[in-house]
Structure 1
Amino acid sequence: MEFVFDLLSPLQLAAVGVTAFAAALLRAFTGFGFAMIAVPVFSLLLLPNEAVVLAAALTVVVSSTSYKEWWGKFPVDQFLPMIAGSLAGTAVGVYLLSGMSRSEFQLWIGLCVIAATLATALVKPSTKQRVPKPLTAGTGVASGLMNGAFAIPGPPVVVYAMAVIAEPAAARAFLMAFFFASNVLAVMMFSVAGMVTATPLVLLLLAFPLSFLGDLLGHYAFRRFGGASYRPVALLVALALGGWNTYAGLQ
C-alpha cells in the first residue's frame, strides 16, 4: 500500500478512480467518450506515457467485460477498412508521443478535444449507410494517429459514426467495437515501445472496479433512457476538459 501512495497522493488516487468511473459510464451510455474524459484528467496527474497506457488498458478491460453490448451489432463492412487504417496510424502516433514533453502533450490533447467536440456538435446523423472505403480507411488512419499519440482514438470516428450511421444503437455498437480493437492495437504498440511500466498497471488494478461499476450503470441508462439525451452532456464535459488541458499546456 505504501508503494501506491508513493505514486500518487490519496486525493490524486481518488481523482483517478472517480475519472475512471465517469469515463466508463459515459462510454457505456454513448459508445464513446472514455478517452476524451480520462486522458485529459490522467495527463494532469501522470507522465504522458503513463496516462495513455492507463486509459487504453482500462478501455480494453472494461470493453471485454461488456462485449455482448456491441458484438455482432455493428456494420462490419465499415469496421474492417477503418481498423486497418487505424493500425497504420497508431504506429506513427506512438512515435510522435515519444518526442513530446508533458506540456506539449497537454496542449495537443486540449486542442484536439476542443476541435473534435465542436465538429461532433455540428454533425447530425444521416440516413446514408455506405461511404467510399478510402474515406473510411482515412478516418481510421486519423483515429490511429490520435490513438498512438494521445490514446484518444475517438474524435474522427465519432464524427464519422454520427454522420453515416443513423440508428443510435448501431452507431453506439460500432464505436464500442472500434475503440476496443484500436485500444488493443495501442496497448500492443505501447508494449513494444517499452512504455508499459508498473505505475499504469497498478493504477489499472485500483481503477478497474470503479470502471466496471460505471460501465454497468451506463448500459442501464442507455437501455432505460435511449441514446438521444447524451449529446449535450458528453459534448459539454469534453469541451471543458479540452479547455482545461489547453490552459495547462500553455503554462
Structure 2
Amino acid sequence: MESLFDMLSVQQLIAVCTTALVAALLRAFTGFGFALIAVPVFSLLLLPNEAVVLAATLTIAVSSTSYKEWWGKFPIDQFVPMILGSVVGTAVGVYLLSGMSKSEFQLWIGLSVIGATLATALIKPRKTATVPKSITAGTGVASGLMNGAFAIPGPPVVVYAMAVISDPGVARAFLMAFFFASNVLAVMMFSVAGMVTQTPLLLLLLAFPLCVVGDQIGSRLFHRFGGTSYRPIALGVALALGAWNTYAGLQ
C-alpha cells in the first residue's frame, strides 16, 4: 500500500489539511461553505474523483461529530422533499463526473462556484415563506446534480434557505442536516460507481482531526457573534477560488 508521501508532497499534504480546517470552520460558522472552499482547492491537488470523495467523506465525518448543532433543529417538512429530489440529481451528477477530464472538472467547478456565489450574494434573507413542495424538490434535484458532479451541493440550497428561512439558527441547522444527508447519498453512489479509492480515504484520516478543530472554533464563533458577519468573507473567498479554478481549467 502506498503511503501518503508517495502520493503527494509535504506541501500538498499541508495544503489539504489547512483547507480542511478552514472549510470546517466556515461550515460551523454559517452552516454552509465546506465544499465551496474545499473542492476547488482539492481539485488543484487531486484527481476529480479523489477531490469529490475526500470533500464528501470529510463533510460526513465532521457533521457526525457535531450533530448536536443541527439534529432536531430544522423544518422536516422542507427537508424531506428536498432530499428526495437530491437522490435523482445526485445519480445524474455522478454519471456526468465519470466522463470528465481534470481540466474540464476544474473549469466547470470554477464556473459553477462563481455563478452560485454571485447568485447567493444577491439573495437577502426574508421572513419565513411557504413555498410549494415542487420548488423544494426541484431545489433538491439541482443540488443533487451539483453534488454528484462536483461534490458541491450547497449553492441551490443556500439560495433556498436564505430566501425562505429567516432565522439564522434554523437556516444553519437546515443546511447542516441537508449537507450531511446529501453527502451520504453521494458517497454511496460514488462507491457503486467504483470512484472510492485509497488516496481520499487516507487523506480523510489525516485531515479529519483538523476538521474537528475547525468545527469547534467555528461553532464557538457562531454562538458568540452570529453568522451575519461571516457571509461577505465566505462569498469573497469562494469567488476567488472559483476564479482560480476557472483559470486552471482553461490552461
Tell me if both proteins adopt one fold, taking TM over 0.5 as the criterion.
yes
In the TM superposition, residue 128 of structure 1 has moved relative to its aligned partner by: 3.3
In the alignment, residue 130 of structure 1 is paired with which amino acid? T
Number of the residue aligned with 1:51 = 51
The answer to whether 1:99 aligns with 2:99 is yes
Number of the residue aligned with 2:160 = 160
Q: 1:202, 1:97 → 2: CA distance?
A: 22
Q: 1:47, 1:4 → 2: CA distance?
A: 15
In the alignment, residue 36 of structure 2 is paired with which amino acid? M
The answer to whether 1:248 aligns with 2:248 is yes
TM-score with structure 1 setting the length: 0.99
In the TM superposition, residue 126 of structure 1 has moved relative to its aligned partner by: 1.5
In the TM superposition, residue 228 of structure 1 has moved relative to its aligned partner by: 1.3
In the alignment, residue 46 of structure 1 is paired with which amino acid? L
In structure 2, list runs of 5 or more residues that go unmatched.
Answer: none
Number of the residue aligned with 2:194 = 194
Number of the residue aligned with 1:25 = 25
The answer to whether 1:7 aligns with 2:7 is yes
How many residue pairs match? The answer is 251
Number of the residue aligned with 1:176 = 176
Q: 2:164, 2:125 → 1: CA distance?
A: 6
Q: 1:129, 1:177 → 2: CA distance?
A: 20
In the alignment, residue 247 of structure 2 is paired with which amino acid? Y
In the alignment, residue 75 of structure 1 is paired with which amino acid? P
Q: 2:176, 2:206 → 1: CA distance?
A: 23
Number of the residue aligned with 1:142 = 142
Q: Which SS does the other structure have where 2:62 is aligned? A: helix
Q: 1:2, 1:56 → 2: CA distance?
A: 22
Q: 2:61, 2:2 → 1: CA distance?
A: 26
- Compute the RMSD of aligned alpha carbons: 0.9
Q: 1:51, 1:227 → 2: CA distance?
A: 27
Q: 2:105, 2:51 → 1: CA distance?
A: 10
In the TM superposition, residue 68 of structure 1 has moved relative to its aligned partner by: 0.4
Q: 2:80, 2:129 → 1: CA distance?
A: 15
TM-score with structure 2 setting the length: 0.99
Task: Give the stretch that moved more between structures: 136-145 or 227-236.
Answer: 227-236
Q: Which SS does the other structure have where 1:166 is aligned? A: coil
User: Where does 1:113-132 land on structure 2 (aligned, <5 Å)?
Assistant: 113-132=113-132
Q: Which SS does the other structure have where 1:229 is aligned? A: helix
In the TM superposition, residue 129 of structure 1 has moved relative to its aligned partner by: 2.6
In the alignment, residue 102 of structure 1 is paired with which amino acid? K
Q: 2:135, 2:12 → 1: CA distance?
A: 41
- Flag as ranges the 4+ runs of structure 1 deviating above 3 A: none
In the TM superposition, residue 20 of structure 1 has moved relative to its aligned partner by: 0.2
What percentage of residue pairs aligned between the two structures are identical?
80
Number of the residue aligned with 2:39 = 39
Q: Deviations over 1:140-199 (max 9, x none)?
A: 000000000000000000000000000000000000000000000000000010000000
Q: 2:158, 2:234 → 1: CA distance?
A: 12
